[in-house]
Structure 1
Protein backbone atom coordinates (compact mmCIF):
# COMPACT_ATOMS: atom_id res chain seq x y z
CA UNK A 1 0.00 0.00 0.00
CA UNK A 2 2.84 2.37 0.83
CA UNK A 3 4.40 1.97 -2.60
CA UNK A 4 1.05 2.26 -4.39
CA UNK A 5 0.30 5.57 -2.70
CA UNK A 6 3.81 6.81 -3.43
CA UNK A 7 3.43 6.14 -7.15
CA UNK A 8 -0.04 7.68 -7.24
CA UNK A 9 0.86 11.05 -5.75
CA UNK A 10 4.17 11.38 -7.56
CA UNK A 11 3.11 10.80 -11.15
CA UNK A 12 3.36 14.09 -13.04
CA UNK A 13 2.06 14.99 -16.47
CA UNK A 14 2.70 18.10 -18.54
CA UNK A 15 -0.40 20.26 -18.95
CA UNK A 16 -1.30 21.58 -22.40
CA UNK A 17 -4.37 23.11 -24.04
CA UNK A 18 -7.16 20.72 -25.07
CA UNK A 19 -7.12 19.22 -28.59
CA UNK A 20 -3.47 20.20 -29.17
CA UNK A 21 -1.33 17.37 -30.54
CA UNK A 22 2.24 17.40 -29.30
CA UNK A 23 4.97 16.60 -31.80
CA UNK A 24 7.44 13.83 -30.91
CA UNK A 25 10.57 12.44 -32.50
CA UNK A 26 10.95 9.16 -30.66
CA UNK A 27 13.98 7.07 -31.59
CA UNK A 28 15.99 4.17 -30.16
CA UNK A 29 19.30 5.97 -30.92
CA UNK A 30 20.24 6.34 -27.23
CA UNK A 31 18.70 3.07 -26.02
CA UNK A 32 20.97 1.23 -23.59
CA UNK A 33 23.14 4.34 -23.40
CA UNK A 34 21.08 6.99 -21.62
CA UNK A 35 17.70 5.23 -21.46
CA UNK A 36 16.19 1.77 -21.10
CA UNK A 37 13.99 0.69 -24.02
CA UNK A 38 11.34 -2.01 -24.35
CA UNK A 39 9.89 -2.78 -27.78
CA UNK A 40 7.65 -5.12 -29.71
CA UNK A 41 8.97 -6.50 -32.02
CA UNK A 42 12.37 -6.71 -30.34
CA UNK A 43 14.77 -3.87 -31.19
CA UNK A 44 12.31 -2.05 -33.45
CA UNK A 45 12.72 1.71 -33.92
CA UNK A 46 9.66 4.00 -33.65
CA UNK A 47 11.35 6.45 -36.02
CA UNK A 48 9.77 5.67 -39.38
CA UNK A 49 8.10 2.48 -38.13
CA UNK A 50 4.49 3.03 -37.16
CA UNK A 51 3.96 -0.61 -36.13
CA UNK A 52 6.70 -0.49 -33.46
CA UNK A 53 5.36 -0.54 -29.90
CA UNK A 54 8.04 1.44 -28.07
CA UNK A 55 8.60 2.43 -24.46
CA UNK A 56 11.65 4.19 -23.06
CA UNK A 57 12.62 5.12 -19.50
CA UNK A 58 15.31 7.62 -18.54
CA UNK A 59 16.40 8.50 -15.01
CA UNK A 60 16.62 12.30 -14.90
CA UNK A 61 17.58 12.92 -11.27
CA UNK A 62 18.17 11.20 -7.93
CA UNK A 63 16.28 11.99 -4.73
CA UNK A 64 17.85 9.69 -2.11
CA UNK A 65 16.59 8.11 -0.01
CA UNK A 66 13.09 8.68 -1.43
CA UNK A 67 13.84 7.49 -4.96
CA UNK A 68 14.52 8.89 -8.41
CA UNK A 69 12.74 10.77 -11.19
CA UNK A 70 11.92 8.99 -14.44
CA UNK A 71 11.13 10.46 -17.88
CA UNK A 72 9.12 8.12 -20.13
CA UNK A 73 8.23 7.89 -23.81
CA UNK A 74 5.47 5.65 -25.17
CA UNK A 75 4.47 5.07 -28.79
CA UNK A 76 2.49 2.44 -30.67
CA UNK A 77 -0.48 1.52 -32.83
CA UNK A 78 -3.82 0.88 -31.16
CA UNK A 79 -7.47 1.71 -31.66
CA UNK A 80 -7.79 1.74 -27.85
CA UNK A 81 -4.74 2.27 -25.64
CA UNK A 82 -1.05 1.47 -25.18
CA UNK A 83 0.63 1.07 -21.79
CA UNK A 84 3.98 0.83 -20.02
CA UNK A 85 4.21 -1.02 -16.71
CA UNK A 86 6.68 -1.08 -13.80
CA UNK A 87 6.85 -4.03 -11.44
CA UNK A 88 9.18 -4.18 -8.40
CA UNK A 89 10.66 -7.46 -7.23
CA UNK A 90 7.78 -7.90 -4.82
CA UNK A 91 4.41 -6.36 -5.57
CA UNK A 92 2.01 -5.53 -8.35
CA UNK A 93 2.59 -3.75 -11.66
CA UNK A 94 1.76 -0.07 -12.04
CA UNK A 95 0.51 0.62 -15.58
CA UNK A 96 0.78 4.03 -17.24
CA UNK A 97 -1.86 4.12 -19.98
CA UNK A 98 -2.20 6.42 -23.00
CA UNK A 99 -5.25 5.95 -25.19
CA UNK A 100 -8.23 7.18 -27.13
CA UNK A 101 -11.63 7.57 -25.51
CA UNK A 102 -14.03 6.17 -28.10
CA UNK A 103 -16.94 8.19 -26.71
CA UNK A 104 -15.42 11.57 -27.62
CA UNK A 105 -12.32 10.66 -29.70
CA UNK A 106 -10.05 12.44 -27.24
CA UNK A 107 -6.78 11.16 -25.85
CA UNK A 108 -6.46 10.31 -22.17
CA UNK A 109 -3.83 9.28 -19.61
CA UNK A 110 -4.56 6.92 -16.72
CA UNK A 111 -2.62 5.11 -14.01
CA UNK A 112 -3.79 1.64 -12.99
CA UNK A 113 -2.65 -1.21 -10.76
CA UNK A 114 -2.29 -4.65 -12.36
CA UNK A 115 -2.78 -7.32 -9.73
CA UNK A 116 -0.32 -10.19 -9.85
CA UNK A 117 -2.81 -12.55 -8.24
CA UNK A 118 -5.82 -12.28 -10.53
CA UNK A 119 -4.55 -10.07 -13.39
CA UNK A 120 -7.23 -7.43 -12.86
CA UNK A 121 -6.80 -3.70 -13.35
CA UNK A 122 -7.74 -1.18 -10.66
CA UNK A 123 -7.75 2.58 -11.20
CA UNK A 124 -5.23 4.36 -8.98
CA UNK A 125 -6.77 7.81 -9.40
CA UNK A 126 -10.21 9.14 -10.18
CA UNK A 127 -9.16 11.78 -12.69
CA UNK A 128 -6.18 12.60 -14.87
CA UNK A 129 -4.99 15.91 -16.26
CA UNK A 130 -4.37 16.89 -19.83
CA UNK A 131 -1.00 15.72 -21.09
CA UNK A 132 1.07 16.08 -24.25
CA UNK A 133 -0.34 13.37 -26.46
CA UNK A 134 -0.53 12.71 -30.16
CA UNK A 135 -2.87 10.39 -32.03
CA UNK A 136 -2.61 10.08 -35.81
CA UNK A 137 -4.09 7.29 -37.95
CA UNK A 138 -4.21 4.90 -35.01
CA UNK A 139 -0.71 5.72 -33.72
CA UNK A 140 -0.69 6.92 -30.11
CA UNK A 141 2.27 8.77 -28.54
CA UNK A 142 2.78 10.42 -25.17
CA UNK A 143 5.40 11.38 -22.59
CA UNK A 144 5.14 11.48 -18.80
CA UNK A 145 7.24 11.83 -15.66
CA UNK A 146 7.24 9.68 -12.53
CA UNK A 147 8.91 11.24 -9.48
CA UNK A 148 10.28 9.69 -6.27
CA UNK A 149 10.06 6.20 -7.74
CA UNK A 150 11.36 3.45 -5.47
CA UNK A 151 11.07 -0.33 -5.82
CA UNK A 152 11.64 -0.79 -2.08
CA UNK A 153 8.37 -1.57 -0.32
CA UNK A 154 9.32 -2.33 3.27
CA UNK A 155 11.22 0.86 4.07
CA UNK A 156 11.95 4.27 2.60
CA UNK A 157 15.45 4.34 4.11
CA UNK A 158 17.00 2.97 0.91
CA UNK A 159 16.63 3.54 -2.82
CA UNK A 160 15.98 0.71 -5.28
CA UNK A 161 15.84 1.30 -9.04
CA UNK A 162 15.31 -2.34 -10.11
CA UNK A 163 12.05 -3.05 -11.93
CA UNK A 164 10.63 -5.38 -14.53
CA UNK A 165 9.27 -3.30 -17.41
CA UNK A 166 6.33 -4.41 -19.56
CA UNK A 167 4.57 -2.88 -22.56
CA UNK A 168 1.29 -3.81 -24.19
CA UNK A 169 -2.05 -2.56 -25.39
CA UNK A 170 -5.80 -2.97 -25.02
CA UNK A 171 -9.22 -1.77 -26.08
CA UNK A 172 -11.45 1.09 -24.99
CA UNK A 173 -15.16 0.41 -25.48
CA UNK A 174 -17.87 2.92 -24.54
CA UNK A 175 -15.30 4.79 -22.45
CA UNK A 176 -14.25 1.68 -20.52
CA UNK A 177 -10.64 0.44 -20.43
CA UNK A 178 -10.53 -3.18 -21.57
CA UNK A 179 -8.16 -6.04 -20.82
CA UNK A 180 -4.44 -5.37 -20.90
CA UNK A 181 -2.50 -7.48 -23.42
CA UNK A 182 1.17 -7.81 -22.45
CA UNK A 183 3.37 -7.96 -25.56
CA UNK A 184 6.93 -7.58 -24.28
CA UNK A 185 8.73 -7.72 -20.93
CA UNK A 186 12.25 -6.95 -19.74
CA UNK A 187 13.81 -7.44 -16.38
CA UNK A 188 14.51 -7.24 -13.65
CA UNK A 189 16.43 -4.15 -14.83
CA UNK A 190 18.35 -1.48 -12.98
CA UNK A 191 16.80 1.59 -14.60
CA UNK A 192 19.70 3.67 -13.30
CA UNK A 193 22.18 1.67 -15.39
CA UNK A 194 20.81 1.40 -18.95
CA UNK A 195 24.14 0.23 -20.36
CA UNK A 196 23.86 -3.01 -18.34
CA UNK A 197 20.40 -4.04 -19.57
CA UNK A 198 21.13 -5.28 -23.10
CA UNK A 199 20.59 -9.00 -22.46
CA UNK A 200 17.19 -8.98 -20.78
CA UNK A 201 14.55 -8.66 -23.50
CA UNK A 202 11.65 -11.12 -23.66
CA UNK A 203 8.77 -11.14 -26.11
CA UNK A 204 6.00 -12.68 -24.07
CA UNK A 205 3.12 -14.89 -25.23
CA UNK A 206 -0.04 -12.87 -25.69
CA UNK A 207 -1.80 -12.59 -22.35
CA UNK A 208 -4.74 -10.48 -21.27
CA UNK A 209 -5.52 -8.90 -17.91
CA UNK A 210 -9.12 -8.07 -17.16
CA UNK A 211 -10.43 -4.59 -16.45
CA UNK A 212 -13.72 -2.70 -16.36
CA UNK A 213 -12.79 0.87 -15.60
CA UNK A 214 -14.20 4.01 -17.20
CA UNK A 215 -11.58 6.33 -18.64
CA UNK A 216 -11.41 10.01 -17.76
CA UNK A 217 -11.65 12.53 -20.62
CA UNK A 218 -8.65 14.46 -21.91
CA UNK A 219 -9.79 17.67 -20.23
CA UNK A 220 -10.25 16.18 -16.73
CA UNK A 221 -8.39 17.70 -13.78
CA UNK A 222 -5.75 15.68 -11.93
CA UNK A 223 -5.32 16.49 -8.25
CA UNK A 224 -2.06 15.14 -6.87
CA UNK A 225 -1.47 15.39 -3.12
CA UNK A 226 1.72 17.21 -2.23
CA UNK A 227 2.31 18.50 -5.78
CA UNK A 228 1.94 22.23 -6.21
CA UNK A 229 3.62 22.85 -9.52
CA UNK A 230 3.96 21.53 -13.02
CA UNK A 231 6.97 19.67 -14.36
CA UNK A 232 8.18 20.82 -17.76
CA UNK A 233 9.59 17.79 -19.57
CA UNK A 234 12.84 17.95 -21.51
CA UNK A 235 13.57 15.80 -24.52
CA UNK A 236 15.07 12.39 -24.02
Structure 2
Protein backbone atom coordinates (compact mmCIF):
# COMPACT_ATOMS: atom_id res chain seq x y z
CA UNK A 1 0.00 0.00 0.00
CA UNK A 2 1.36 3.40 -0.96
CA UNK A 3 2.25 5.63 1.94
CA UNK A 4 2.62 9.17 0.61
CA UNK A 5 2.96 10.75 4.03
CA UNK A 6 5.55 13.48 3.97
CA UNK A 7 7.33 14.86 6.98
CA UNK A 8 7.81 18.63 6.83
CA UNK A 9 10.06 20.09 9.49
CA UNK A 10 11.07 23.73 9.71
CA UNK A 11 14.08 22.84 11.85
CA UNK A 12 15.26 19.74 13.64
CA UNK A 13 17.82 19.51 16.41
CA UNK A 14 18.95 16.11 17.65
CA UNK A 15 19.93 16.40 21.29
CA UNK A 16 22.47 13.89 22.52
CA UNK A 17 21.77 12.02 25.73
CA UNK A 18 22.95 8.54 26.80
CA UNK A 19 19.86 6.85 25.38
CA UNK A 20 17.32 9.40 24.14
CA UNK A 21 17.15 11.65 21.09
CA UNK A 22 14.73 14.57 21.29
CA UNK A 23 13.42 16.45 18.27
CA UNK A 24 11.67 19.72 17.54
CA UNK A 25 7.91 19.75 16.96
CA UNK A 26 6.97 17.94 13.75
CA UNK A 27 4.29 18.73 11.19
CA UNK A 28 2.92 16.55 8.40
CA UNK A 29 1.65 16.97 4.84
CA UNK A 30 0.44 14.68 2.06
CA UNK A 31 2.73 16.20 -0.57
CA UNK A 32 5.21 13.98 -2.41
CA UNK A 33 8.98 14.12 -2.67
CA UNK A 34 10.14 14.06 -6.31
CA UNK A 35 13.80 13.25 -6.91
CA UNK A 36 15.22 13.09 -10.44
CA UNK A 37 18.57 13.28 -12.24
CA UNK A 38 17.69 16.69 -13.68
CA UNK A 39 20.62 19.04 -13.11
CA UNK A 40 23.21 16.35 -12.31
CA UNK A 41 26.69 17.64 -13.14
CA UNK A 42 25.33 21.12 -13.90
CA UNK A 43 23.42 22.50 -10.91
CA UNK A 44 23.85 19.66 -8.43
CA UNK A 45 26.51 17.08 -7.56
CA UNK A 46 25.12 13.53 -7.92
CA UNK A 47 26.38 10.27 -6.43
CA UNK A 48 24.58 6.98 -6.99
CA UNK A 49 24.74 3.20 -7.05
CA UNK A 50 24.61 1.65 -9.58
CA UNK A 51 26.22 4.25 -11.83
CA UNK A 52 23.77 6.57 -13.64
CA UNK A 53 20.71 4.85 -12.15
CA UNK A 54 17.35 6.63 -12.30
CA UNK A 55 15.99 7.72 -8.89
CA UNK A 56 12.63 8.60 -10.47
CA UNK A 57 11.79 5.01 -11.27
CA UNK A 58 14.81 2.73 -11.30
CA UNK A 59 14.47 -0.21 -8.96
CA UNK A 60 17.48 -0.64 -6.70
CA UNK A 61 18.74 2.91 -7.26
CA UNK A 62 20.52 4.45 -4.27
CA UNK A 63 20.88 8.12 -5.20
CA UNK A 64 21.93 11.37 -3.58
CA UNK A 65 22.41 14.90 -4.84
CA UNK A 66 24.16 17.82 -3.14
CA UNK A 67 23.70 21.52 -3.92
CA UNK A 68 25.91 24.01 -2.08
CA UNK A 69 25.21 27.69 -1.53
CA UNK A 70 27.61 29.93 -3.46
CA UNK A 71 29.50 31.92 -2.34
CA UNK A 72 30.47 30.08 0.82
CA UNK A 73 29.60 32.08 3.94
CA UNK A 74 32.29 32.80 6.55
CA UNK A 75 31.04 29.98 8.78
CA UNK A 76 30.54 27.48 5.95
CA UNK A 77 28.10 26.55 3.21
CA UNK A 78 24.55 25.23 3.33
CA UNK A 79 24.15 21.87 1.61
CA UNK A 80 20.76 20.96 0.12
CA UNK A 81 20.48 17.17 0.00
CA UNK A 82 18.24 14.80 -1.94
CA UNK A 83 18.38 11.13 -0.94
CA UNK A 84 16.55 8.16 -2.42
CA UNK A 85 16.94 4.43 -1.80
CA UNK A 86 15.21 1.19 -0.89
CA UNK A 87 15.24 -0.38 2.55
CA UNK A 88 12.91 -1.85 5.14
CA UNK A 89 15.01 0.05 7.70
CA UNK A 90 16.93 3.16 6.70
CA UNK A 91 19.08 4.76 4.02
CA UNK A 92 21.79 7.29 4.83
CA UNK A 93 24.20 9.84 3.42
CA UNK A 94 27.49 10.38 5.22
CA UNK A 95 30.13 13.11 5.05
CA UNK A 96 33.71 12.34 6.02
CA UNK A 97 37.32 13.16 5.19
CA UNK A 98 38.45 9.52 5.07
CA UNK A 99 36.30 6.39 5.33
CA UNK A 100 39.09 4.44 7.02
CA UNK A 101 39.83 6.90 9.84
CA UNK A 102 38.27 9.77 11.77
CA UNK A 103 34.48 10.04 11.85
CA UNK A 104 31.53 10.19 9.48
CA UNK A 105 28.49 12.41 9.99
CA UNK A 106 25.46 10.32 9.03
CA UNK A 107 22.13 11.76 7.94
CA UNK A 108 19.53 9.00 8.16
CA UNK A 109 16.12 8.70 6.51
CA UNK A 110 14.17 5.64 7.56
CA UNK A 111 10.83 3.96 7.99
CA UNK A 112 9.40 3.00 11.37
CA UNK A 113 8.27 -0.63 11.22
CA UNK A 114 6.34 -0.19 14.47
CA UNK A 115 4.05 2.50 13.01
CA UNK A 116 3.18 1.08 9.58
CA UNK A 117 6.32 2.38 7.91
CA UNK A 118 6.07 6.07 8.82
CA UNK A 119 9.07 8.24 7.96
CA UNK A 120 11.70 9.25 10.51
CA UNK A 121 14.96 11.22 10.42
CA UNK A 122 18.12 10.96 12.53
CA UNK A 123 21.67 12.27 12.64
CA UNK A 124 24.42 9.97 13.88
CA UNK A 125 28.20 9.81 14.12
CA UNK A 126 30.19 6.81 12.90
CA UNK A 127 33.72 6.08 14.11
CA UNK A 128 35.49 4.97 10.93
CA UNK A 129 35.70 2.24 9.80
CA UNK A 130 33.19 0.70 12.26
CA UNK A 131 29.64 0.02 11.12
CA UNK A 132 28.10 1.10 14.43
CA UNK A 133 27.14 4.73 15.09
CA UNK A 134 26.22 6.89 18.06
CA UNK A 135 23.84 9.81 18.60
CA UNK A 136 25.17 13.13 17.33
CA UNK A 137 23.85 16.65 17.76
CA UNK A 138 23.49 18.35 14.39
CA UNK A 139 21.09 21.07 13.22
CA UNK A 140 19.26 20.07 10.03
CA UNK A 141 16.51 22.18 8.45
CA UNK A 142 13.65 21.86 5.94
CA UNK A 143 13.29 18.10 6.21
CA UNK A 144 10.78 16.44 3.88
CA UNK A 145 10.42 12.68 3.63
CA UNK A 146 8.13 9.95 2.39
CA UNK A 147 7.89 6.16 2.35
CA UNK A 148 6.28 4.14 -0.43
CA UNK A 149 6.69 0.41 0.19
CA UNK A 150 10.43 -0.13 0.44
CA UNK A 151 11.29 3.17 -1.28
CA UNK A 152 12.43 5.99 1.00
CA UNK A 153 12.85 9.55 -0.28
CA UNK A 154 13.91 12.62 1.64
CA UNK A 155 15.19 16.16 1.23
CA UNK A 156 16.91 18.32 3.85
CA UNK A 157 19.40 21.17 4.34
CA UNK A 158 22.63 21.03 6.35
CA UNK A 159 23.74 24.56 7.35
CA UNK A 160 27.27 25.75 8.18
CA UNK A 161 29.25 22.90 6.61
CA UNK A 162 33.00 23.46 6.44
CA UNK A 163 36.29 21.59 6.55
CA UNK A 164 36.39 21.71 10.35
CA UNK A 165 33.02 20.14 11.11
CA UNK A 166 33.49 17.31 8.62
CA UNK A 167 36.98 16.65 10.03
CA UNK A 168 38.59 17.39 6.68
CA UNK A 169 42.33 17.89 6.42
CA UNK A 170 41.94 19.31 2.92
CA UNK A 171 42.78 22.93 2.27
CA UNK A 172 39.53 23.20 0.30
CA UNK A 173 36.72 24.22 2.64
CA UNK A 174 34.11 22.15 0.81
CA UNK A 175 36.06 18.97 0.05
CA UNK A 176 34.61 15.79 1.56
CA UNK A 177 33.88 12.15 0.84
CA UNK A 178 30.22 11.24 0.34
CA UNK A 179 29.20 7.76 1.46
CA UNK A 180 25.83 6.18 0.73
CA UNK A 181 24.45 3.13 2.45
CA UNK A 182 21.66 1.53 4.41
CA UNK A 183 20.85 -0.51 7.49
CA UNK A 184 18.17 -2.04 9.65
CA UNK A 185 15.86 -0.24 12.06
CA UNK A 186 13.69 -1.25 14.99
CA UNK A 187 11.13 1.50 15.24
CA UNK A 188 13.32 4.60 15.09
CA UNK A 189 16.34 2.86 16.63
CA UNK A 190 18.88 2.30 13.85
CA UNK A 191 21.23 -0.65 13.47
CA UNK A 192 24.63 -0.94 11.80
CA UNK A 193 25.35 1.21 8.74
CA UNK A 194 26.57 -0.59 5.60
CA UNK A 195 28.43 1.46 2.99
CA UNK A 196 27.28 0.82 -0.58
CA UNK A 197 28.96 3.73 -2.36
CA UNK A 198 32.11 5.69 -1.47
CA UNK A 199 32.56 8.73 -3.73
CA UNK A 200 36.17 9.52 -2.89
CA UNK A 201 37.05 13.18 -2.12
CA UNK A 202 34.79 15.64 -3.96
CA UNK A 203 34.40 19.40 -4.02
CA UNK A 204 30.83 19.65 -2.76
CA UNK A 205 30.51 23.16 -4.20
CA UNK A 206 31.27 21.94 -7.74
CA UNK A 207 28.44 19.97 -9.40
CA UNK A 208 30.91 18.58 -11.97
CA UNK A 209 33.62 17.53 -9.53
CA UNK A 210 33.00 13.82 -10.21
CA UNK A 211 32.45 14.16 -13.96
CA UNK A 212 35.06 12.78 -16.39
CA UNK A 213 37.53 11.85 -13.66
CA UNK A 214 37.81 15.36 -12.23
CA UNK A 215 36.98 14.40 -8.65
CA UNK A 216 39.02 15.47 -5.62
CA UNK A 217 42.08 17.27 -6.96
CA UNK A 218 40.74 17.85 -10.50
CA UNK A 219 43.65 15.78 -11.85
CA UNK A 220 41.60 14.83 -14.91
CA UNK A 221 42.55 18.10 -16.54
CA UNK A 222 39.05 19.53 -17.05
CA UNK A 223 38.73 23.28 -16.59
CA UNK A 224 36.39 24.04 -13.70
CA UNK A 225 33.91 26.99 -13.73
CA UNK A 226 35.75 28.94 -11.00
CA UNK A 227 38.99 28.58 -12.99
CA UNK A 228 37.31 30.04 -16.08
CA UNK A 229 36.08 33.04 -14.10
CA UNK A 230 39.55 33.62 -12.69
CA UNK A 231 41.09 33.42 -16.18
CA UNK A 232 38.59 35.91 -17.59
CA UNK A 233 39.32 38.33 -14.72
CA UNK A 234 43.05 38.18 -15.38
CA UNK A 235 42.57 38.69 -19.13
CA UNK A 236 40.30 41.70 -18.53
CA UNK A 237 42.85 43.26 -16.20
CA UNK A 238 45.63 42.80 -18.77
CA UNK A 239 43.50 44.40 -21.48
CA UNK A 240 42.81 47.44 -19.31
CA UNK A 241 46.52 47.90 -18.67
CA UNK A 242 47.45 47.56 -22.36
Within the alignment, does 1:100 sit opposite 2:111 as a pair? yes
Rounded to whole Å, the distance in 1 between the matches of 2:76 and 2:177 is: 16
Q: Which residue pairs with 2:3 in the alignment?
A: none
Write out per-residue CA displacement over residues 30-76 of structure 1, whole angstroms, 9 at most, x where no aligned residue: 11111111111111111221321111100134443211011000011
Structure 1: runs of 5 or more not aligned: 1-6, 202-236
1:143, CA displacement in angstroms?
0.3
Q: Which residue pairs with 1:52 in the alignment?
A: 61
Q: Which residue pairs with 1:227 in the alignment?
A: none
Structure 2: runs of 5 or more not aligned: 1-12, 16-22, 216-242
Of 170-179 and 184-193, the range deviating more from structure 2: 170-179
**Equivalent of 2:81 in 72, 92, 108:** 72
Task: Normalising by structure 1, report the TM-score.
Answer: 0.70
Say how many residue pairs are matched: 189
SS at structure 2 position matched to 1:69:
strand
Rounded to whole Å, the distance in 1 between the matches of 2:85 and 2:25 is: 22
Of 137-146 and 47-56, the range deviating more from structure 2: 47-56
1:127, CA displacement in angstroms?
11
Rounded to whole Å, the distance in 2 between the matches of 1:150 and 1:39 is: 23
Higher relative contact order (CA 8 A, sep 6+): 1
Within the alignment, does 1:163 sit opposite 2:176 as a pair? yes
**1:143 to 1:128, Cα distance in 2 relative to 1, 3 A:** closer
Deviating 4+ runs (over 4 angstroms):
13-16, 126-130
**1:190 to 1:175, Cα distance in 2 relative to 1, 3 A:** closer
Considering only CA atoms, is the larger Rg found in Structure 1 or Structure 2?
2
Rounded to whole Å, the distance in 2 between the matches of 1:151 and 1:64 is: 13
**Equivalent of 1:31 in 29, 33, 40:** 40
Q: 1:87 touches 1:163 (CA, 8 Å); kept in 2? A: yes
State the Cα RMSD in Å. 3.2
**1:83 to 1:179, Cα distance in 2 relative to 1, 3 A:** same
